[in-house]
Amino acid sequence: MPVKHTCLAALGFSFLAFHAVADEESPISTSVFGTLGVAKSNNNDFYFRSRTTLPEGIDNSWSFHNDSNLGIQLTYEPSEKFSATILALAQLNESDDYGPLIEWAYLTYSPNENLKIRVGRTVFPTFIASDYSSVSFTYLPVRLPQDVYSLIPFQGVDGIDFIYDTNIGETYLQFQGLIAQRDFEIFNDGGIGETDYELENTHSLRATLRHGNWSVSAGYLKGDMKVDVPEVQELAVFLKSVTNIFPVFSSLANGLSSEGEIRFSSFGIQYSSYRVTFSSEYVQRRWDINLNVSDNDAYYLMGGYHIGKWTPYAFYSNSKNKSKIPLSSYPTEGPAAPITFALGEFFSPLLGDGNTKGIGLRYDFLENLAIKAQFERINVGAQLFLKKEGQPVPESVNLASLALSFVY
């Protein structure tokens, strides 16, 4: 644990040292964001995680490690047309420490005021808020609705993107496109633990239309995914070896593969005025093969009412599993029953439908510092839960969170 805190503190001190020599006239600018968050659930048999990359999460003890982070962005802008940006993000990672990761590092060329072309590592807005999901200050709740935002298992991707914006009358339009790739890891419950992924040939596009207080947007991302998961290969070999005796398993045996196309699509609507903030998004995730990433349809509704510096808010999110693993049709009695049971254990983390109801209160102490208190009742279905020692999945979990978020 001391290593985690030392890394976080070192990043903070390096920023302070750097900021002391930077001034407004310098071509170098710095921006910082961070969250100090604590959370606890009412269940000690499960870990709840804010990201699928985490090897563990929070149980019924208060913990800082789920939501706390610190990000430092440096931008070198020698001219209006060229700039270089790097953003180091320290948060609990797959190595179970706060070693800073570079989630953004890119060069920007702006041939005119409407177009930016960027090369390097960027985070694509696959969903509305994907690219600023680490900056908790910028949205109402402690974390974005998990039934939707946990469906994207990666953040930064390496490639080239463009951002083009324009106006038609009083309507603002923005388009963002990307070609990229990225290797990443996630941790799953059940029969498959830590898994390495390779995302390649990724193409994506997001279009946003804003008029007055309203905006609507749609996004699409498509890529080829390879998975290093020997357990599934072994399972496929085993199932194929028994299909002569149990033909009921043949379609699953033939469907298991470590490569396939993954697709995300989303449609969102937002309203923001001096008093009211509202957003809603409907998303789909599809993968051609059934491994440890499920197909899902999900949505959320979120709104808040600003009363001076206070903003009470509420949200509801829902995720339905659409994977075609026909577990319910497999025999639960007779000689094939042990295989059905083993498959259930293996795939059960993928198959649940989940929803979350949340309420919270945000207080903006300063224009760049907010505290949020939040209570959620989660009907467990998302892949953000990890069993500790194989206990049965509870129907619901209560989660309490408190977070101090800032930007600078």
Partner 1 sequence: MLRRSLLLTIFILQLGFSATVKAGSVVVIVNKNNQSDSLSSDLVGDIYLGRKKRFPTGELVEPLDLPKDLEITSDFYKKVVKKTPAQLRAHWSRLVFTGKGRPPKRIVDEAAVKTMVAEDKKLIGYVNEVSVDKDVKVILEVP
Q: Does 30 bind partner 1 (CB under 8 A)?
A: no
User: Do 362 and 343 contact (CB within 8 A), yes or no?
Assistant: no
* CA distance linking residue 135 with residue 64, whole number of Å: 16
Q: Does 172 bind partner 1 (CB under 8 A)?
A: yes
Q: Quick one: 125 or 190, whose CB is closer to partner 1?
A: 125
Q: Does 167 bind partner 1 (CB under 8 A)?
A: yes
Count CB neighbours of 40 within 10 A.
19
Select from 44, 95, 254, 368 the one that contacts partner 1 (CB under 8 A). 368
Q: What is the closest distance, in whole angstroms, from the C-beta atom of residue 42 to partner 1 in the complex? A: 31
Select from 25, 333, 367, 395 the one that contacts partner 1 (CB under 8 A). 367
Rounded CA Rg of the chain: 22
Site for partner 1 in 144-163 (CB under 8 A): 163
Select from 85, 126, 356, 379 the one that contacts partner 1 (CB under 8 A). 85
Q: Quick one: 12 or 55, whose CB is closer to partner 1?
A: 12
Q: Does 370 bind partner 1 (CB under 8 A)?
A: yes
Q: Quick one: 104 or 187, whose CB is closer to partner 1?
A: 104
Pairing state between β 259-272 and 276-287: antiparallel
Q: Does 306 bind partner 1 (CB under 8 A)?
A: yes
Q: Quick one: 90 or 135, whose CB is closer to partner 1?
A: 135
Q: Does 67 bind partner 1 (CB under 8 A)?
A: no
Q: Quick one: 201 or 273, whose CB is closer to partner 1?
A: 273
Q: Quick one: 42 or 273, whose CB is closer to partner 1?
A: 273
Give me 381's structure tokens.
Answer: 């279905």
* CA distance linking residue 385 with residue 389, whole number of Å: 12
H helix runs in 167-218, sequence order: none
Q: What is the closest distance, in whole angstroms, from the C-beta atom of residue 41 to partner 1 in the complex? A: 28
* CA distance linking residue 309 with residue 162, whole number of Å: 36
CA angle 300, 155, 383 (to 5 degrees): 55
Residue type, 138: T
Give me 12's structure tokens.
Answer: 């903070």
Q: Quick one: 1 or 168, whose CB is closer to partner 1?
A: 168
User: Do 139 and 131 contact (CB within 8 A), yes or no?
Assistant: no
**Quick one: which segment of 90-98, 282-290, 364-372, 391-399 binds partner 1 (CB under 8 A)?**
364-372
Count CB neighbours of 30 within 10 A.
14
Q: What is the closest distance, in whole angstroms, from the C-beta atom of residue 25 to partner 1 in the complex? A: 11
- Residue of 316, 317, 323 whose CA lies nearest to 296: 323
Q: Does 42 bind partner 1 (CB under 8 A)?
A: no
**In angstroms, how far is CA 188 from the centroid of its own chain?**
14
* CA distance linking residue 20 with residue 398, whole number of Å: 44
Q: Does 206 bind partner 1 (CB under 8 A)?
A: no
Q: What phi and psi values does residue 179 have, to the nearest 5 degrees? A: -125, 125
Whole-number Cα distances in Å, 20 to 29, 282, 340: 12, 44, 63
Give me 112's structure tokens.
Answer: 């005119």
Site for partner 1 in 91-120 (CB under 8 A): 104, 106, 108, 113-114, 116, 118
Q: Does 70 bind partner 1 (CB under 8 A)?
A: no
Site string for partner 1, 216-245 (x = CB under 8 A): ------------------------------
Site string for partner 1, 116-145 (x = CB under 8 A): x-x---xx-x-----xx-xx-xxx------
Q: Does 364 bind partner 1 (CB under 8 A)?
A: yes
Q: What phi and psi values does residue 308 have, to the nearest 5 degrees? A: 60, -125
Residue type, 223: G
Residues forming the site for partner 1 (CB under 8 A):
31, 33, 71, 73, 85, 87, 104, 106, 108, 113-114, 116, 118, 122-123, 125, 131-132, 134-135, 137-139, 163, 165, 167, 170, 172, 210, 212-213, 272-274, 277, 306, 309, 364, 367-368, 370, 407
